[in-house]
Chains A and B, each alone.
Chain A
Amino acid sequence: MSTAAPSAQPASSQAASGKGLAAYCRGVTKHYGSGSNQVLALRGIDLEIPAGKLTMLVGPSGCGKTTLISVIAGILDRDAGECSVFGRDFSAMGQRERTRYRGENIGFVFQQFNLLPTLNAAENVAVPLMILGEGRAAAVAKGKEYLAQVGLGDRWKSLPSQLSGGQQQRVAIARALVHSPRLIVCDEPTSALDHETGGRVMALLKDVALKNDRALVIVTHDARIFSYADQIAKMDDGRVDQVITGSGITAEARGH
Chain B
Amino acid sequence: MFFVALKMLTGDRAKFFGIIFGITFASMLITQQASIFVGIMTRTFGFLTDTNQPDLWVMDPKVQFVDDIKPMQDTMLLRVRGVEGVRWAMPLYKGLIQARMENGTFQTCNVVGLDDATLIGGPGEMVEGSLEDLRLADSVIVDQVGAATRLAKPAPGAPRDAEGNIPKDWPRIPLTVGDTLELNDRRAVVVGICKVSRTFQSQPVVYTTYSRATRYAPQQRKLLSFILVKAEQGVDPSILSDRITHQTGLAAYLTKDFIVKTYMYFIKYTGIPINFGISVMLGFLVGTAIAGQTFYNFTLDNLKQFGALKAMGASNGRLLAMILLQALVVGVLGYGIGVGVGSSFAILSKNSELAFRLVWQTLVVTGVAVTFICILASLLSIQKVIRLEPAIVFKG
Chain A residues with CB under 8 Å of B314's CB are 99, 103, 131
B315 close to A96 (CB less than 8 A): yes
A70 close to B11 (CB less than 8 A): no
Determine how close the nearest CB of chain B comes to the CB of A89; give it in whole angstroms. Answer: 18
A70-B394, A95-B316, A111-B394 known; A116-B311 Cβ under 8 A = no
B8 close to A118 (CB less than 8 A): yes
Number of A-B contacts defined by CB within 8 Å: 85
* Residue B3 at the chain A interface, CB threshold 8 Å: yes
B4 close to A119 (CB less than 8 A): yes
Determine how close the nearest CB of chain A comes to the CB of B299; give it in whole angstroms. Answer: 14
A114 close to B310 (CB less than 8 A): no
Bound complex: CA A116 to CA B307 (Å) = 11
* Residue B396 at the chain A interface, CB threshold 8 Å: yes
Q: Which of B8, B304, B313, B395 contacts A102 (CB 8 A)?
A: B313
Chain B residues with CB under 8 Å of A116's CB are 4, 7-8, 305, 308
Determine how close the nearest CB of chain B comes to the CB of A133; give it in whole angstroms. Answer: 9
B11 close to A119 (CB less than 8 A): yes
Q: Which of A103, A110, A123 contacts B393 (CB 8 A)?
A: A110
Bound complex: CA A119 to CA B8 (Å) = 7
Bound complex: CA A40 to CA B4 (Å) = 38
Bound complex: CA A116 to CA B318 (Å) = 17
A75-B388, A95-B316 known; A127-B4 Cβ under 8 A = yes
Bound complex: CA A99 to CA B11 (Å) = 27
A108-B393, A110-B393 known; A117-B313 Cβ under 8 A = no
A110-B308, A131-B309 known; A123-B388 Cβ under 8 A = no
A123 close to B7 (CB less than 8 A): yes
A130 close to B4 (CB less than 8 A): yes
CB-CB contacts below 8 Å: B380-396 with A: 388, 390, 393-396
Per-residue contact bits, chain A 96-118, to B (CB 8 Å; 1 contact, 0 not): 10011011100010111010111
* Residue B312 at the chain A interface, CB threshold 8 Å: yes
A112-B396, A130-B4 known; A75-B390 Cβ under 8 A = yes
* Residue B161 at the chain A interface, CB threshold 8 Å: no
* Residue B12 at the chain A interface, CB threshold 8 Å: yes
Chain B residues with CB under 8 Å of A70's CB are 390, 393-394
B7 close to A119 (CB less than 8 A): yes
Chain A residues with CB under 8 Å of B8's CB are 116, 118-119
CB-CB contacts below 8 Å: B291-345 with A: 304-305, 307-316, 318
A75 close to B311 (CB less than 8 A): yes
Chain A residues with CB under 8 Å of B304's CB are 112, 114
Per-residue contact bits, chain A 66-77, to B (CB 8 Å; 1 contact, 0 not): 110110010110
A76-B390, A111-B396, A117-B11 known; A99-B310 Cβ under 8 A = yes
Q: Which of B309, B311, B395, B396 contacts A73 (CB 8 A)?
A: B311
Per-residue contact bits, chain A 112-140, to B (CB 8 Å; 1 contact, 0 not): 10101111000100011011100010000
Q: Which of A95, A131, A136 contacts B312 (CB 8 A)?
A: A131
Bound complex: CA A132 to CA B11 (Å) = 23
Q: Which of B4, B308, B312, B390 contacts A66 (CB 8 A)?
A: B390
Determine how close the nearest CB of chain A comes to the CB of B308; give it in whole angstroms. Answer: 4
* Residue B1 at the chain A interface, CB threshold 8 Å: yes
* Residue A187 at the chain B interface, CB threshold 8 Å: yes
Q: Which of A103, A118, A123 contacts B313 (CB 8 A)?
A: A103
Chain A residues with CB under 8 Å of B315's CB are 95-96, 99-100
Q: Which of B4, B309, B313, B393 contacts A100 (CB 8 A)?
A: B313
Bound complex: CA A178 to CA B308 (Å) = 15
Chain B residues with CB under 8 Å of A75's CB are 310-311, 388, 390, 393
Instruction: Across the interface, name the chain B residue whose C-beta is closest to A112.
Output: B396
Beyond A75-B311, A95-B316, A114-B393, 11 additional pairs, beta carbon < 8 A: A70-B390, A75-B388, A95-B315, A102-B311, A108-B311, A111-B396, A114-B308, A116-B7, A127-B309, A130-B4, A131-B309
List 10 A–B pairs whose Cβ atoms lie within 8 Å, in order of A's numbering: A75-B310, A95-B315, A99-B315, A100-B313, A108-B308, A116-B4, A118-B10, A123-B4, A127-B309, A187-B394
Closest 4 CB pairs of A and B: A103-B313, A118-B11, A70-B390, A114-B308
